[in-house]
Amino acid sequence: MRLRPRQRLRTGADFGAVFKRGARFDGGLFLLVAAPNGRSFDRLGLAVSRRIGGAVARNRARRLVRESFRRITPRRGSGFDLVVVARAALARGGQAEVDRELRGRLSRIRRPAGVGGAAPAPAR
């Protein structure tokens, strides 16, 4: 199953805005950059470079992250643009490992108490 167009970051401007104003959450499999988007749903963008490996490895990394995003985000509904920057270990990881890491990174993103708009927690 594919992500719907509204669930994807599609333009360079979308990616640029997330990198410019987003909070970074580092992990062993990937770097997650998150920025509020003013919507009621999350959107995903993937950055998988050739350093990850050949086309098969890069596509596998993308599939793993997309599947984790599909499993986790429907319950969140928090309104963030998320960019996942893959590391080489991602292509060698399993689905459960990717799910666990994505949940861990997303749990660090929260709305500030008493504030109407969503904002990521500061990177630590």
What is the tens place of the pLDDT at every residue in 38-68? 888 899 999 999 999 999 999 999 999 999 9
Q: Residue 113: pLDDT band by 50, 70, 90 thresholds?
A: very low
Does residue 27 form part of some domain? yes
Does residue 94 form part of some domain? yes
Q: What is the CA radius of gyration of the chain?
A: 14
Q: pTM for this structure? A: 0.83
Q: Which domain holds residue 84?
A: 5-107
CATH of the domain at 103: 3.30.230.10
Listed residue (46, 47, 53, 21) closest to 34, CA to CA: 21
Rounded Cα distance between 119 and 90, Å, is: 27
Comparing 61-65, 69-73, 93-97, which segment has the lowest mean pLDDT? 69-73
Task: Kindly state the average pLDDT of the residues 94-111.
Answer: 88
∠ CA 95-107-40, nearest 5°, is 95
Rounded Cα distance between 61 and 89, Å, is: 9
Helix (H) / strand (E) element for 112: namely none
Total domains present in the chain: 1
Does residue 120 form part of some domain? no
- Amino acid symbol at 118: A
pLDDT of residue 21 exceeding 70, the answer is yes
Does residue 35 form part of some domain? yes
